[in-house]
């Protein structure tokens, strides 16, 4: 394992206190975590669906990001034209631990024989804890680091739109419209820190799209893309290509512009249980000090109607 590089992590944390965008957690295999990004996805799989995803980023760094998510969603209503779900995210980086708990709701309208458009909203809370004692601070008396942040709660409200057929999907969303501040002058008692020393949530815009091609009786191919735009941060673009073999085995690769390349393997263990593993190799200098990033994926679907068990959904 490559050596840790504590100064870089400290620099990352310090930079987050200087009026730059406060980024949401990063996912490579976002197609298995779509509900967190877009609430309109809730209920679109037509089953009661549970999902777990764990990401360990920049393995080998002390204080490197670690993210876990849990999602559950299901169609509801007499016509199954609504979806309801719960999404929970825990994101840890250095001394900070941020958790989000959201309820997701969607309403779908058929627009063709196989297509429907869904409108979604999410609402919940963000909980932030920061323990500055975990940092290797050059000046222990620095007033900026004297008062920990304990269970600071902020509201969250987001929305999204999602269109899908049995082979194609596209979605646009903003998971949180509220640009709340995590730190302010009042939390720095006795200091003269300027009001610019603030980390605020910025609007995150997500655009996702994908299409499933039938290349043969037992082979499907799905190219997909994600574009994320955040004020104050570079535009992020992910492109991926996944293959589904015999409705059982998934293998794929992805590229994040100027950041990383990744691979994915997955196995449909039963009709309802999918297991997956992803690995990122950083294409930047940070790879010299880390052992890449890992994602573990588990999804479990409960089919409440036998006619829905036709083949595993590829998105």
pLDDT tens figures, 87-141: 999 999 888 899 999 999 999 999 998 899 999 999 999 999 888 777 777 777 6
Of 6-10, 68-72, 298-302, the least confident = 6-10
pLDDT at 232: 76
pLDDT at 181: 60
Pairing of strands 219-230, 82-93: unpaired
pLDDT at 29: 78
Inside any domain, residue 129: yes
pLDDT at 124: 97
Write down how long the chain is.
315
User: In the 3-class helix/strand/coil scheme, how is 54-123 assigned residue by residue?
Assistant: EEECCCCCCCCCEEEEEEEEEEECCCCCEEEEEEEEEEEECCEEEEEEEEEEEEEEECCCCCEEEEEEEE
Do the beta carbons of residue 53 and residue 294 sit within 8 Å?
Answer: no
* Domain interval for residue 109: 6-308
Inside any domain, residue 295: yes
Inside any domain, residue 126: yes
Residue predicted with more confidence, 235 or 63: 235
pLDDT tens figures, 29-81: 788 889 999 999 999 998 999 999 999 998 887 788 999 999 999 999 888 89
Inside any domain, residue 314: no
Report the alpha-carbon distance of residue 219 to residue 250 in Å, rounded. Answer: 10
pLDDT at 182: 53
Inside any domain, residue 155: yes
pLDDT at 315: 84
pLDDT tens figures, 254-294: 999 888 999 999 999 998 999 999 999 988 888 777 888 99
**How many domains, in total, are found in the chain?**
1
Inside any domain, residue 1: no
DSSP state of 240: E
Residue 199 pLDDT class (50, 70, 90 cuts)? low
Q: What is the CATH number of the domain that holds 64?
A: 2.40.160.40
Evaluate if residue 153 carries a pLDDT over 70.
Answer: yes
Inside any domain, residue 88: yes
pLDDT at 303: 77
Inside any domain, residue 313: no
Do the beta carbons of residue 243 and residue 237 sit within 8 Å?
Answer: no
Residue predicted with more confidence, 179 or 69: 69
């Amino acid at each position: 394992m490559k050596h840790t590089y504590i100064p870089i992590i400290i620099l990352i944390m310090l930079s987050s206190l200087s009026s730059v965008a406060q980024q949401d957690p990063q996912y490579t295999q976002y197609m298995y975590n779509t509900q967190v990004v877009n609430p309109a996805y809730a209920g679109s799989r037509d089953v009661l669906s549970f999902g777990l995803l764990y990401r360990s980023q920049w393995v080998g760094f002390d204080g490197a990001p670690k993210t876990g998510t849990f999602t559950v969603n299901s169609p509801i209503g007499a016509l199954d034209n609504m979806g309801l779900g719960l999404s929970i995210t825990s994101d840890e980086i250095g001394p900070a631990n941020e958790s989000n708990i959201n309820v997701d709701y969607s309403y779908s309208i058929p627009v063709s024989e196989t297509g429907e458009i869904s409108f979604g909203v999410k609402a919940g809370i963000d909980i932030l804890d920061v323990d500055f004692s975990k940092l290797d601070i050059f000046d222990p008396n620095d007033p900026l680091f004297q008062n920990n942040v304990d269970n600071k709660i902020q509201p969250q409200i987001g929305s999204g739109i999602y269109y899908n057929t049995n082979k194609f999907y596209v979605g646009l969303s903003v998971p949180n419209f509220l640009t709340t501040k995590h730190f302010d002058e009042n939390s720095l008692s006795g200091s003269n820190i300027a009001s610019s020393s603030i980390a605020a949530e910025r609007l995150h815009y997500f655009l996702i799209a994908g299409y499933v091609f039938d290349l043969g009786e037992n082979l499907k191919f799905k190219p997909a893309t994600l574009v994320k735009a955040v004020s104050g941060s570079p535009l992020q673009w992910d492109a991926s290509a996944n293959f589904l073999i015999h409705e059982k085995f998934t293998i794929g690769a992805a590229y994040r512009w100027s950041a990383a390349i990744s691979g994915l393997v997955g196995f449909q263990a039963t009709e309802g249980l999918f297991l997956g593993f992803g690995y990122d190799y950083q294409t930047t200098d940070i790879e010299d000090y880390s052992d890449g990033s890992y994602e573990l994926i588990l999804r479990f679907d409960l089919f409440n109607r036998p006619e829905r068990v036709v083949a595993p959904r590829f998105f």
